[in-house]
Structures are given as C-alpha cells and as structure tokens.
C-alpha cells in the first residue's frame, strides 16, 4: 500500500501521520489521492508539490519521495537530520533520466529503493530514454 505525505509533513513535522482517508480502507481496490499531471512547461519546484508518494524512508528524517500532486518525474531526497549539519541538504531531481540519478544517490544514504516494471504511454516515453 503506498504512503503519501504532504510537503509540510516531510519537511517540518516528519513525526506526524501520512495523508490518509479512512474510507480508502473500505474497498478491496487500491484507492489513491487525487492528482493532476504536470505539463512540463517549466521545471517543478518543491513548493509546487502538495502530495508526495513515499518511495523509501528511514528514521531521522531520511527519505526518497516522488511527486504525486502534481504527478511528474520529480523526486526529493531528504538526507536526515543528522546529516543536515554535515553539508547535506534536500536534493531534487527532475525530468528525463532523474529516476536513475535518484537510485544512485539513494545508495549513498543507504536507502534501498524498490524497482518495478512500469508501463509508459508513448507521449511520456521521453522521460525514460
């Protein structure tokens, strides 16, 4: 079951709960929060994202997140509270090829990312080449 968090929950209050609607558990089908697709007319920024999908998390504020609303090839890595004072800050990756960069960078933080086969519509193929 995917987990979703708001930008505020990730950056300011990571100890709070995820974005959750109790009605999501009333069905045997996966029910996801609503989202809209990003148009890629400009580069996405953290402030543009209201909901993130949790890709991987570890205690201490370390995690990898994918933009859910808006839905785009945009990822955020938070290094954890103990690394912030050592010159590591929040990192973002956007657009074509970003998923490979995120996977490599997550290894630095000792975060294992799940890998899945995905289906990509032809109009979005440029993001994966």
Yes or no: say if 47 and 19 are a contact pair by the CB < 8 Å rule: no
Q: What is the pLDDT of residue 19?
A: 79
Q: What is the pLDDT of residue 41?
A: 92
Q: What is the pLDDT of residue 85?
A: 56
Q: Determine the average pLDDT of the residues in 38-44.
A: 92
* Tokens coding 24: 């999501």
**At which residue do the structure tokens 């990509």 appear?**
120
Q: What is the pLDDT of residue 16?
A: 63
SS3 state of residue 49: coil
- The string of DSSP letters for 65-123 reads EEEEETBSSEEEEEE-HHHHTTT---EEEESTTHHHHHHHHHHHTT-PPP-------GG
Q: Determine the average pLDDT of the residues in 55-60.
A: 85
Per the structure, the complete domain to which residue 121 belongs is given by: 4-128
Yes or no: say if 85 and 41 are a contact pair by the CB < 8 Å rule: no
Out of 10-19, 25-34, 84-93, 113-122, give the one with best mean pLDDT. Answer: 25-34
Q: What is the pLDDT of residue 92?
A: 95
**Alpha carbon distance 60, 71 (integer Å):** 26
**Per-residue pLDDT for 123 more than 70?**
yes
| Confidence label for 9 from pLDDT (cuts 50, 70 and 90) | confident
Q: What is the pTM of this model?
A: 0.80
Q: Which tens digits make up the pLDDT trace of 80-95?
A: 765 555 556 889 999 9
| Confidence label for 129 from pLDDT (cuts 50, 70 and 90) | low
* Tokens coding 86: 């050592």
Please give the tally of structural domains in the chain: 1
């Amino acid at each position: 079951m995917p987990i979703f968090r708001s930008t505020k929950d990730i950056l300011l209050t990571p100890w709070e709960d995820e974005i959750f609607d109790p009605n999501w558990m009333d069905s045997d089908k996966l029910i996801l929060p609503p989202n809209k697709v990003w148009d890629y007319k400009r580069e996405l920024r953290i402030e543009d994202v209201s909901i993130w999908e949790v890709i991987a998390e570890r205690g201490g504020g370390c995690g990898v997140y994918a933009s859910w609303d808006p839905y785009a090839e945009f990822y955020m890595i938070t290094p954890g509270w103990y690394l912030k004072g050592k010159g590591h800050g929040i990192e973002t990756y956007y657009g074509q090829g970003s998923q490979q960069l995120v996977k490599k960078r997550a290894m630095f933080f000792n975060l294992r990312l799940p890998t899945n086969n995905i289906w990509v519509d032809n109009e979005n193929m440029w993001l994966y080449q």
